[in-house]
Structure 1
């Protein structure tokens, strides 16, 4: 009788869906941090989700571009079900400077909104995420979290995700007539390719500028020469660069943020 019971149990186990056997939790404790998947329900033809990383006091994690030091986050959705795409949006970071250089970071807690598109809108959507992110205080330690979550119409974290989306820099053209704007980009004469970036920021605020080149381009941003002018230097670039290279400039001040794309030539100077 015991043998028959064990045999029946094995048979039931083998009939279970794969995700029921290997399902990961929606949250995971890591090195001085906790990662969690959250859901915000449907909005039009997309599902709203989020990656929430909570950090212990004094620790930080990194933006999509970590700056001079640190580990960029890596997110793999390969194990998800009925997912055509998962687009991560990044709220604007803070600038942190220490002996290791300038880093672009989040502290305390960050929510990265995720816009999820289903392959088939009539079927359930299940997210499975393998996340890798750096957690740093004095030194940087890689953390990993394997998470999963079924997206449902309830979306109990919708307000949290909406608040995070409001912190994502909005796209804006060069020279836009708003109170926060990247106004101009002008080449400079230096030993390395460099250019000055003039910005406009609300009175009484202290703007920060984050510059991102394409893969294998390394760029740095100085503190402002004056209240509204930064120097961006191309520290390194591929020997055979394209004739037109996109550079993304993220400007942050007074709780607002915008994102402006400009074009560089193969020598790293504005076109």
Structure 2
């Protein structure tokens, strides 16, 4: 079912993107109106040897957009920086999403507004970086519809939105080892017996918080997570995986609660069992 939802979303994205390609072939600017949304590039000044920028997406009431892993349906943002000048790299940092559950399944989303921080490195630090971004992102209320924006920004002359970018950076999950001490952590993982490959992640979260866990595997691995039980256990199920999978399979577990977020990597074997 999850595969069918993802395939349907991808087909809709392709059809609508092709239909709107001509309308979007306008001269890029720092902001652009999309389907029930608005996207813009913002600047944040120097950050060590790099520069801060951000991709800001503002959504109409009731609409959502998706994290890098969308969940059972939806489409992650796609970034094409190839038209930029003097750009060596543009690294997206991902604030933690929210878990949204409805009749279509569980998705990992942002609502209202999100800033995706970008760590920009210049080829030549003595020259300005001029960003040009072709952005595709999904917008959802009852069904996922693609939006497209052609954006451009000269970082040397742009007004600073550093506060908004730093606020978003504060929501990016902090790397943390399995079993680490602290108020928010993934304490352990253990195999679960049953039909599909699955395991239990035992977590610690602040009292009264409503934690959510997001699980990401390599390409062609799709994992789902349950809500936590009273003992802080969350079931993680391998919904799909390559038939010939073998060796070490890295999986990232992102745990979110009370405005905090941590990111823990574990390893599965080819059958989906924790190593």
Normalization by structure 2: what TM-score? 0.89
Structure 2 residue corresponding to 1:207, chosen from 211, 228, 231:
211
Q: State the partner residue of 2:83.
A: 79
Cα separation, 2, equivalents of 1:190 and 1:116: 46
Preserved contact between residue 132 and residue 143 of structure 1 (Cα < 8 Å):
yes
Pair 1:183 & 2:183 matched: no
Per-residue CA distance 1:45-72 (angstroms, 9 max, x = gap)? 0110000000001000001001001111
Q: State the partner residue of 1:167.
A: 171
Pair 1:246 & 2:233 matched: no
Matched residue SS, 1:162: helix
Pair 1:33 & 2:37 matched: yes
Cα separation, 2, equivalents of 1:153 and 1:159: 17
Pair 1:222 & 2:220 matched: no
Pair 1:264 & 2:257 matched: no
Cα separation, 1, equivalents of 2:195 and 2:246: 21
Larger Rg: 1
Cα separation, 1, equivalents of 2:262 and 2:145: 30
Q: Which runs of 5+ in 1 are unaligned?
A: 1-21
Normalization by structure 1: what TM-score? 0.90
Counterparts of residues 51-130 of structure 1 (less than 5 Å): 51-130=55-134
Q: 1:36 and 1:154, CA in 2 relative to 1: closer, same or farther beyond 3 A?
A: closer
Matched positions, count: 250
Cα separation, 1, equivalents of 2:261 and 2:47: 23
Matched residue SS, 2:167: helix
Cα separation, 2, equivalents of 1:269 and 1:29: 45
Q: State the partner residue of 1:236.
A: 240
Q: Which runs of 5+ in 2 are unaligned?
A: 1-25
Matched residue SS, 1:267: coil
